[in-house]
Structure 1
Amino acid sequence: MADTLTVRQSGHATVQDLGRPGRSRYGLPVNGALDQYSARVANALCGNDDTDPLIEITALDFSCTPSTDVLVAVTGAPADLTVDGIPQPQWEPLAVRGGQTLAVRGIRLGLRVYLAVYGSVHAESLLGSCAPDTILGFGRFLRPGDDLALGAQCPPIGHPEFRHPLFRIRPPRPRFGESWTIDVTDGPDIAEFGDSAGRLLSSAYVVTPSSNHIGLRMSGPVPQRVASGEVLSRGVPVGAVEVPAGDQLLVLHRGRGVTAGYPVLAVVTSTSLSPLGQARPGHTIRFRHRTVAEAVAAHRTERAVIRSVRHRAAAVLQSLDLPVLTRR
C-alpha cells in the first residue's frame, strides 16, 4: 500500500500549485497559490520543484498524520505549528515520524499557510496544474479522512544528538501584520482619473469581507474617473486595480476572469501579489508606486532569494543521502 498523508482536521485546505500561466488566451484564470513566495520556499526547503503540489491552508485549523516518516516544511502566515503537541518552527525543514500528528492552528496576521512534503503529494491535473478552479468545478478540497498519496519515500531523519532541529536555513520571511504596503505600477487608464489618481497612493484602504481568491474589494477614498467614454471589455492582468462604479476598489487576484470592462488605474507588481494574498478582511492596504524597471528588479531579487534557499536545502539533503527531486 502506498504511503499517505491522512487529513484529520481539514478546515479550509486545498491541494495547490503555482497555477496555469499562459492559459488566459483560452479563457482560463491562472489560479494557483495566492502567496506564491511562501509556496515556492516551502517546496524549496523540501527539495521539491517550484511547481510541485502542496497544501494551502486558509484561515482555519488543520491537522494530518503521515503513515511513514516524512520531511515537511510549513511557511506562510504565523501559526501554532505542533507535532504531537510539541511546538515546532515554521520556515524550516521538519522531520515528522510516521503516526505523529502535525497540526497548524491559530493562523494570524495573515490568511494562508503552506505545507510542503518531501516528494510532494499526488494530485489530479488539468492542463498541467492541480490548482482548483471554482468555475470549472475542478480541484482537491480536503476533507477529514482524506488520504493524500506521497510522491517519494523518505528514510528516517533525525539529529544524532539531543534531537536538535534537522538544520537551519532561515529563508527571508515576509513581514506579516494588519497593514500591508502593496507596490503598483501605472495602469493603462491612469490618465482617465486626472488629479484624483493620486488618491490611490495617499489613502488607506480596508479589505472587505466580500474578498476572495478572485479579487479583493477595498473600501476607502475611491479615485474618480473624469473621462466619459465607455470602457470596452478587454483582457486584464492579475493584479489589476479596477475602479468600478461605486465606493470600492476592486483588485483582481489569481482567480480573476481574463476579461473585464472597468477602468484599470494601476497594476500590482508580481512581488506584491503574495502579500496581497495574505491580507485578511479588516486589514489596511496602502499602495506604493513603482516603475516597471523597479518592479522587474524586485521580481529578479525575489527569485534569486528562492534559488539561494533551494541550493542550501539541496546541499543538506544530499549530505543526508536524500535525492533532490527538482526537475530543473
Structure 2
Amino acid sequence: MADTLTVRTAGITTVQDLGRVGRSRYGLPANGAVDQHSARVANVLCGNDEHAPLLEITALDFACTPSSDILVAVTGAPADLTVDGATRPQWEPVPVPAGATLRVTGIRRGLRVYLAVLGSFEADYLQGSCAPDTILGFGPALRDGDELALRTACPSLDHPFSRIPLFRLNAPVPRFPTSWTIDVTDGPDRADFGDTGRRLFEAPFTVSPQSNHIGLRLRGDVPRRVTQGEVLSRGVPIGAVEVPAGDELLVLHRGRGVTAGYPVLAVVTATGLSALGHVRPGQSIRFRHRTLDQAITAHRAQRGAVDALRTRVRTAFDALRIPVPAGT
C-alpha cells in the first residue's frame, strides 16, 4: 500500500505544477502555480524535478498528516509552519515524522504558499500537466479527509539533537513587501495611448475583489486609447495589461484565455508575474517600466539562483545519503 498524506484542514488548496507549456496553440490556458519561482524552489529543496506536482495553499490555513516519514519544503508568502506544534523554517527542507501534524497558518504579506514533498504526489494529468483548469472542471480543490498518494518512500531524517534544522541551503527568497511594485515592459499597443500611457506609472492601482488566477482587475487613473479603429481578437500573453473601454485595467494571469480583443498597453515580466500572484484584493500596486533586456536579465538571474540551489541540494542530499527521486 502506498504511503499517503492525509489532508486535515484543506482551506483553499490545489495540486499544481508549472502548467501546460506549449498548449496555448490548442486553446488551453497555461494555468499552473501562480508564483512560479516559489513553486520551483519548493520542489528543488526536496530534490524533485521543478515540474513535479506540489500543493498551492491560498490565503487560508492548511494541515496534513503523513502515514510515513517525509521530507517537505514550504515556500511562498511568509506563514507559520509547525510540525506537531514545533516551529519549523520556510524555504528549507523539513523532516516530518509519520503521524505528525504539519500546519501552515497565518499566511501574510502575500497570498500563496507552496508545499512540496520529497518524491512528490501521484496526480491526474491533462495535456501534460496536473494543473487545475476551472473552465474544463479539471483538478478540483482538495477537501478535508482527502488522501494524496506519495510517489516515493522517504528515509527517516529526524535530527537526533533537539530537532536542530538539518539544512542551511541559502534558498533565493524573494521580497514580500508591504506595498507591491510590479515590473512591466511595453506592450504591442503602447503607441495607441499617446501621452496617457504614462498614467500606468504615475499613480497606484487598487486590486478589485473580482480578481483570481485568471486575471486581476485594477481600479485607478486608467490610460485612454487615443487612436481609432477596432482591435481584432488575437493571441495574448500571460501578463498582458489590457485596457478595456471602462474604468478598470485587466492584468491577465496564468488562467487567462489565449485570445482577446482589448489593446495591450504593457506586459508584466516573468519575475513580476510571480510577485503579482501574492497581491490581495484591496491592496494597491504600482507598475515600474523595464526594457526587454532588463526583464530578461532579471529572469535569468532568478533562474540562475534556482540552478545554483539545485547543486547545493544535491551536494547536501549526497552527504546525508538521501536518495534523489527518479526522473530528476
Shorter-chain TM-score range: over 0.9
- The reply to whether residue 291 of structure 1 matches residue 256 of structure 2 is no
Give the TM-score, by structure 2 length. 0.98
Aligned twin of 2:51: 51
C-alpha contact (below 8 Å) 1:253/1:273 kept by paired residues: yes
Task: Indicate the residue corresponding to 1:309 in structure 2.
Answer: 309
Q: Which residue of 2 aligns with 1:152?
A: 152
1:73 aligns with 2:52: no
Distance 1:228 1:126, change over 3 A: same
Give matches, 1:103-252, under 5 Å.
103-252=103-252
Partner letter of residue 131 of structure 1? A
> Following the alignment from structure 2 to structure 1, what is the Cα–Cα distance between the partners of residues 281 and 109?
11
Q: How far off its partner does 1:326 sit? A: 6.4
Are 2:70 and 2:118, in contact at CA under 8 Å, matched by a contact in 1?
A: yes
Label 1:135 to 1:190 Cα distance change in 2 as closer, same or farther (>3 A). same
1:17 aligns with 2:9: no
2:178 alignment partner AA: E
Q: Which amino acid aligns with 1:211?
A: S
Question: 1:84 corresponds to which residue?
Answer: 84
2: CA distance, partners of 1:325 / 1:182: 36
Structure-2 residue corresponding to 1:2: 2
Equivalent residues of 1:131, 1:139 under 8 A apart: yes
Contact 2:97–2:158 at 8 Å: present in 1 too?
Answer: no
Preserved CA contact (<8 Å) 1:76 1:113? yes
Shift in Å, 1:320: 1.5
Once residues 48 and 72 of structure 2 are traced to their aligned partners in structure 1, the CA distance between those partners, rounded to angstroms, is 11
Q: Could you give the per-residue CA deviations for residues 123-173 of structure 1, whole angstroms, max 9, x where no partner exists?
A: 000111000001111014210110000010111103343331011112121
Which sections of structure 2, spanning at least 5 residues, go unmatched? Answer: none
Structure 1: gaps spanning 5 or more residues: none
Q: Which amino acid aligns with 2:50?
A: D
Residues 49 and 326 in structure 1, CA contact (< 8 A), matched pair in contact too: no
Structure 1 stretches of 4+ moved >3 Å: none
TM-score (norm 1): 0.98
Which residue in the other structure is 2:253 paired with? 253
Q: CA deviation at 1:187?
A: 0.3
Please state whether the residue corresponding to 1:185 is helix, strand or coil.
Answer: strand
- The separation in 2 between residues aligned to 1:61 and 1:129, in whole angstroms, is 26
Deviations 1:192-245 (A, max 9, x none): 000000110111111111000000001111001101111111100000000011
Residue type matched to 1:15 in 2? V
CA deviation digits over 1:83-136, x for unaligned, max 9?
A: 111111111110000000000111111000000000000000011100000111
Once the two structures are superposed, what CA deviation does each residue of 1:247-287 show, in whole Å capped at 9, x if it has no partner? 11100000000000000000001111100011101222111
Amino acid at match of 1:12: I
